[in-house]
Copies of this chain bind each other. A is one copy, B any other.
């Protein structure tokens, strides 16, 4: 990188000269809570405006060890749940004058090797969702004192904090709802094959079905993507004994299931096949789908994650935490209900 001389940098010292005050006064004028007379502060701010000076938070971060930047590593941004996480996190951090540095990780169940570059930016913390940290990255973050919090995916690695929904219980509750509706043949469309989130939801679903004497569950994976989920649904509906109840590990895949069932197979939802999703993204309540789903609000997950990040920053020796955010079944018209 060559030095860019076309870009002039206004320094504290320039502002001090222009305002006729000390450099320390300029520094204090831009430090919340620092002692400075209103008159001096006013002089400094006027001079700063005239010169186009902005207190450089990055430079300051070298002194305070705080950049006020939180790295967010995220995949599957075409899935509205993940877009909602970005929106909610960004708005939440705004309250404390912090911002997201975004790392878009490749979809799938492999850690993103490029993510290790995150530490070059001296971020205050790393939040992951839809992707996971490698053991290497975990070690590097520990050495650098950067806490890691995973949203919506339990970690296989000790030392990484997680904020998830009640995945197991939710799977059970959805199975019970479908059993109550008189369904006989059950299918599950998981997200990323091998991901803990997908696996735990499936385990809860199977657990409640097994207690009702049902052992057979058709399982396919939709990779959290619309087209892949559509293919999975076609496989299910093409089978000799197609399911009359499909639980999808995300709303986005449930939309694909409803589209395929209704438009390609001429099936009625829920009369011929019930479809249940997971997340309760805003589109789930729109009339085109009106999807029964397990509400696991992105906002609640994000609030808990930020709380946890702050605790871990405040107390770096705190052990990794596993927190669950409660959710609830939202019954809409995509699933048959218990006969009266």
Contact = CB atoms under 8 A, between A and B. Distances in A.
Interface size on A, as a range, is 35 or more
Interface stretch (A75-83, A165-173, A321-329): A75-83
Given A77-B87, A83-B83, A100-B102, A1 B64 contact: yes
Contact of A90 (B57, B104, B262): B104
Contacts of A237: none
Nearest to A103: B99
Given A120-B56, A226-B282, A316 B262 contact: no
A288 B259 contact: yes
Interface in A1-33: 1-4, 6-10, 31-32
Contacts of A142: 52
Given A54-B119, A54-B120, A80-B80, A288 B4 contact: no
Interface stretch (A65-73, A181-189, A194-202): A65-73
Contacts of A80: 78, 80, 83
Given A78-B282, A86-B102, A56 B66 contact: no
A255 B286 contact: yes
Contact of A78 (B2, B84, B259): B84
A58 interface: yes
A117 B54 CA distance: 8
Contacts of A7: 65, 144-145, 316
Contacts of A258: 288
Nearest to A58: B58
A263 B287 contact: yes
A83 B64 CA distance: 33
A1 B86 contact: no
Nearest to A54: B119
A319 interface: no
Nearest to A281: B78
B286 A289 contact: no
Interface string A223-265: 0001000000000000000000000000000011011101110
Contacts of A283: 283
Nearest to A315: B6
Contacts of A62: 56, 58-59
7 contacts: A7-B65, A9-B65, A10-B143, A54-B119, A56-B120, A58-B67, A226-B286
Interface of A: 1-4, 6-10, 31-32, 51-52, 54-67, 69, 72, 77-78, 80, 83-84, 86-87, 90-91, 94, 97, 99-104, 114, 117, 119-122, 139-140, 142-145, 226, 255-256, 258-260, 262-264, 282-283, 286-289, 316-317
Among all A-B residue pairs, the 6 with the closest Cβ atoms: A52-B143, A90-B104, A83-B83, A263-B287, A77-B87, A7-B145
